[in-house]
Structure 1
Amino acid sequence: MLRYFTGRLISLILTTLAASVLVFLLMQVLPGDPAAVMLGINAQPDTLAALHKQLGLDAPLLWRYFSWIGGFLTGDFGTSYTYSVPISELLEPRIMLTLPLAMMAMVLSLVIAIPLGVIAASKRGKAPDVVGMGFAQIGVAVPNFWLGLLLILFFALYLGWFPASGFGGWENGLWAGIRSLILPAVALALPLAAILARVTRSAVIEALNEDFVRTARAKGLSQRAALWKHATPNALIPVVTILGLQFSFLLAGTIIIENVFNLPGLGRLIFQSIAQRDLITVQSLVTLLAASVIAVNFMVDIAYGLLDPRLSVGVRT
């Protein structure tokens, strides 16, 4: 298991560095000049050159990368071109919104998907299976931003249960913050839950046909107990894997959903930074999100190894 963990850790470090190089290079080839955006279209060449020097944009490409990545690894993400403040100061209040939003969406998707997939598998071909998989098909097809707009129209404007936009703020109490995030979390969670429900159903059906389930039934265990105590735990391995792979889409969805609900999170900050050509902010935030996705997949790999010891045994042999 130690060798398996070490191999995954080395892979995490190398993948993160490769992602940082790719993001940095992409920022360099994008059209537009941040200095020109800051100074306006009538800026004089000598003024542009002075601002380039001030921002470090005139330095060699390799030096700029190592200077940026060195600071990034120590928590210094640079200074925003637009706001003229350290990017870390912009991150702190926004990550306290985006992270709970992503976690709420992930937990909600699991709460919906696992029971739905298990029930559909146990009632294969019957009404619960048809209804559940019909929901999953709709969930996969419906874009999360359109779903978010429907949720705003019904639950916020018609029923008035939740705010239509904005963030109540954690300083106003836990419920005020959670209440502002419920509709965005649902909009993010339902498409993910639809995918996980289909994976869960297939995995449980496969597990139900395994010898250990038939043996449990032959020993007198009820169908319900065999389903939940034996088939379902063994079916969670592919579900955990898919959940890790879908985490990147969940983070990408926050960029859209935060704009739909006017939430001041990381996604909205990235959107605004792109519009304002604040490349250093976009560069640091995208790399941070990429590192988060890689870290989550690393944890999924470790969880996969714990759930299936054959992987670590295979590494040693």
Structure 2
Amino acid sequence: MRFIAHRLLLFAAALFGVSVLVFVALRILPGDVAAVMAGTAATPDRIAALRAQFGLDRPLVVQYLDWAGGLLRGDLGTSALTGRAVVAQVGQRASLTFPLILMSLAVALAIGLPLGCASVLARGRRMRGFLHVVAIVGGAVPALWSGLLLILLFSRGTGLIGIFPSQGFPSEGWRDFGRALASLVLPSVATGIVAGAGIMRYTRAAVGDLVDGGAIDMAMACGMTRTQAVLRVGLRLATPQLVSVVGLTFAQMITGVMVVESLFALPGLGALLIGDVGNRDLIAVQSELFLLAAFFLTLGLVIDLIHRALDPRLRIGAGSGESAARSNGGER
């Protein structure tokens, strides 16, 4: 409980720091925020109206407190471009982006875990070299290039094998489940290939260290084959490390997905953020950047807690340190 409380306090402090950083970063832009939002051809009356509409004529401390209070209530403000609540826009776009990220992560795990274990189990030099090249090439290929290659191969209309759509998302959204799922197949594969190569390298390194450390030999001495020992014992012991890697990969996929969304013309969070920046809707950008940062921090907190729960050595080490501290205090 002390560990969880400490992490939650750090999480709250990090959220506060991020909110201040995002707020200040948009206020130190050259010129007045209202003038930037209004555009170069705006009249002074239009700029003054925008400044009054969004409270930009008030002191900065008051502006920050109003914005932070709205965040605590779940009010992210109103878009100057569409007049809609920012939280509604983000929720609509997130219903596309997060399924895409989850599908990409599933592809990455389906590629990375089996090939990583295969790299450890491979006995021939040629097979090990081939898998090593696969890991390097897969990690070096940009998601944009792999997406273009998949479009040329599997897209309807222009691809050699026309199976999946390459542009857009159904206007009905997930109510048309079949078309919606099909439109995310190529983007998820394009992103998952790159992430899968990274997971493959981490899996090979984590399980390979256990092989060198003797854990696999001990399992084989108990009657397991080498393959059984690697898959049952090696993967289980490497799970805490792999959970951290998968969590970080999940967070990194957000930026990769934004690029792929533009390539496949998907109306996700990346398109929303790019459009708001291009249209100078800085009030909406402010809340969207904070949400992205909060998501990264939340994911890091969850990974930290899961890692501690899966790895008993961390709990034992913490308990031993606390016991030693109490013993030293008693001796004094």
Same fold by TM-score greater than 0.5: yes
Query: Alpha-carbon deviation of 1:288?
Result: 0.8
Query: Alpha-carbon deviation of 1:113?
Result: 0.4
TM-score (norm: length of structure 1): 0.93
RMSD over equivalenced CA pairs, Å: 1.8
Indicate which of 190, 198, 204 corresponds to 1:195.
198
Indicate which of 247, 251, 256 corresponds to 1:248.
251
> Is the Cα contact below 8 Å between 2:216 and 2:226 reproduced in 1?
no
Worse-matched range after superposition: 121-130 or 72-81: 121-130
1:170 counterpart = 2:169? no
SS in 2 for 1:209: helix
Q: Distance between the aligned counterparts of 1:120 and 1:281, measured in 2? A: 47
Please tell me the residue identity of whatever aligns with 2:168: G
Indicate which of 288, 295, 300 corresponds to 2:303.
300
Please tell me the residue identity of whatever aligns with 1:203: A
> Is the Cα contact below 8 Å between 2:112 and 2:197 reproduced in 1?
yes
User: Partner residue of 2:127?
Assistant: 128
> Is the Cα contact below 8 Å between 1:119 and 1:128 reproduced in 2?
no
Please tell me the residue identity of whatever aligns with 2:130: V
1:221 counterpart = 2:224? yes
Q: Distance between the aligned counterparts of 1:247 and 1:196, measured in 2? A: 11
1:103 counterpart = 2:102? yes
User: Partner residue of 1:205?
Assistant: 208
1:86-120, Cα deviation, whole Å (9 max, x unpaired): 11221222111011011111122112101110110
SS in 1 for 2:224: coil
Q: Distance between the aligned counterparts of 2:125 and 2:239, measured in 1? A: 23
Greater Cα radius of gyration, structure 1 or 2: 2
Q: Distance between the aligned counterparts of 1:128 and 1:63, measured in 2? A: 64
Please tell me the residue identity of whatever aligns with 1:264: P
Q: Distance between the aligned counterparts of 2:54 and 2:285, measured in 1? A: 15
Worse-matched range after superposition: 287-296 or 268-277: 287-296
> Is the Cα contact below 8 Å between 1:207 and 1:232 reproduced in 2?
no
SS in 2 for 1:165: coil
> Is the Cα contact below 8 Å between 1:122 and 1:205 reproduced in 2?
no
User: Partner residue of 1:161?
Assistant: 163
Mark the runs of 5 or more structure 2 residues left unpaired by the alignment. 323-332
Identical amino acids, percent of aligned pairs: 37
> Is the Cα contact below 8 Å between 1:188 and 1:253 reproduced in 2?
yes
Query: Alpha-carbon deviation of 1:209?
Result: 2.2
Query: Alpha-carbon deviation of 1:220?
Result: 1.9
1:221-264, Cα deviation, whole Å (9 max, x unpaired): 21121111111111222222122223332111122111111111
User: Partner residue of 2:329?
Assistant: none
User: Partner residue of 1:269?
Assistant: 272
Query: Alpha-carbon deviation of 1:33?
Result: 4.9
Q: Distance between the aligned counterparts of 1:26 and 1:45, measured in 2? A: 24
Q: Distance between the aligned counterparts of 1:108 and 1:54, measured in 2? A: 46
Q: Distance between the aligned counterparts of 2:5 and 2:313, measured in 1? A: 17
Query: Alpha-carbon deviation of 1:40?
Result: 4.2
Query: Alpha-carbon deviation of 1:121?
Result: 1.1
Number of aligned positions between the proteins: 316
Q: Distance between the aligned counterparts of 2:187 and 2:281, measured in 1? A: 26
Q: Distance between the aligned counterparts of 1:239 and 1:147, measured in 2? A: 25
Q: Distance between the aligned counterparts of 1:33 and 1:190, measured in 2? A: 44
User: Partner residue of 1:118?
Assistant: 117
User: Partner residue of 1:5?
Assistant: 4
Query: Alpha-carbon deviation of 1:182?
Result: 0.9
Check 1:199–1:171 CA distance in 2 against 1; reply closer, same or farther (3 A cut): closer
SS in 2 for 1:244: helix
TM-score (norm: length of structure 2): 0.89
Query: Alpha-carbon deviation of 1:78?
Result: 0.2
Structure with larger RCO (C-alpha < 8 A, sep 6+):
1
Q: Distance between the aligned counterparts of 1:38 and 1:210, measured in 2? A: 60
> Is the Cα contact below 8 Å between 1:37 and 1:276 reproduced in 2?
no
1:146-170, Cα deviation, whole Å (9 max, x unpaired): 2112211211121211111101243
Q: Distance between the aligned counterparts of 2:261 and 2:71, measured in 1? A: 25
> Is the Cα contact below 8 Å between 1:80 and 1:87 reproduced in 2?
yes
> Is the Cα contact below 8 Å between 1:3 and 1:315 reproduced in 2?
no
Q: Distance between the aligned counterparts of 1:201 and 1:254, measured in 2? A: 25
Query: Alpha-carbon deviation of 1:176?
Result: 1.4
What does 1:63-78 align with in structure 2 at a 5 Å threshold?
63-78=62-77
Q: Distance between the aligned counterparts of 1:310 and 1:147, measured in 2? A: 40
Q: Distance between the aligned counterparts of 1:71 and 1:276, measured in 2? A: 23
